[in-house]
Amino acid sequence: MQNNSVDILGTASTLFVFDGNKSIAATPPATHKQCMDKLLTTPCISHPTAMIRKSALGAIRYNEQYQFAEDYKLWLDLAKNGAKFANLQTPLLKYNLHGGNISITKIEEQSKCARVIRREYFIYYFAGKTAALQTIKEFYRTEKLSLREVRVIIRENIDLIKFSSDTNAKILAYYLRYKIKEFFKK
């Protein structure tokens, strides 16, 4: 990698669906900020395209507790450790989707692990950081969480946000705590 400010680099991909006759362009987020936002809902790097600086990995390894979503957890751990992400927008991978892919055969297990990872990332992402309310709405709608589940997550994490030195995070805490029903109805 020539860009010393990037620790993890991925690329766009071309996905071939099942029979190979239909292709889909998978264009990932380009910048570090876009990658960090994307981690709220899905992995920001296509694993087979990943190039990682050894210095960024340190002692971070795959976590076997997140079987079928180890790469997503790895990206989260690297982000929490301060690694910088980026993606080339040029497709450098041709990937064949078929019935035997883990993402298809183990979709339920993968979804459960991903949900736990997203909740963990919520704590990291919004604690002490400027938060975009629209991103939060998208997160909960993507997760299809009930209002009760949203309240539990907020109750568990509100102190992390409200004691932040970031004024926008404090405003976010207020909205999440007191205006939650109106907020999620919009």
CATH, residue 68: 3.90.550.10
Confidence label for 72 from pLDDT (cuts 50, 70 and 90) = very high
Say which residue, 62 or 3, is predicted with more confidence.
62
Question: Three-state DSSP class for 14?
Answer: strand
Is the domain of 92 the same as that of 152?
no
DSSP class of residue 27 equals: -
Give CA separation, 28 vs 85, 88, 149, in Å. Answer: 11, 8, 29
Asked whether the beta carbons of 12 and 88 are under 8 A apart, the reply is yes
Six-digit token string for 96: 């064949």
Least confident of 15-24, 27-36, 72-81, 123-132: 123-132
Q: What is the pLDDT at residue 9?
A: 97
Residues 179 and 96 in one domain: no
Q: Are residues 4 and 75 in the same domain?
A: yes
Q: Per-residue pLDDT for 75 more than 90?
A: yes
Based on the structure, what is the number of domains in the chain?
2
Same structural domain, 179 and 145: yes
Indicate whether 105 and 131 sit together in one domain: no
User: What is the tens place of the pLDDT at every residue in 127-179?
Assistant: 544 444 555 666 666 666 666 666 666 666 655 555 555 545 555 555 555 55
124 touches 80 (CB < 8 A): yes
Q: Mean per-residue pLDDT for 33-38?
A: 86
Domain carrying residue 33 = 1-109
Judgement on whether residues 104 and 132 belong to the same structural domain of the protein = no
Vertex 36: Cα angle to 34 and 38 (nearest 5): 70
pLDDT score of 1: 46
Residues 100 and 12 in one domain: yes
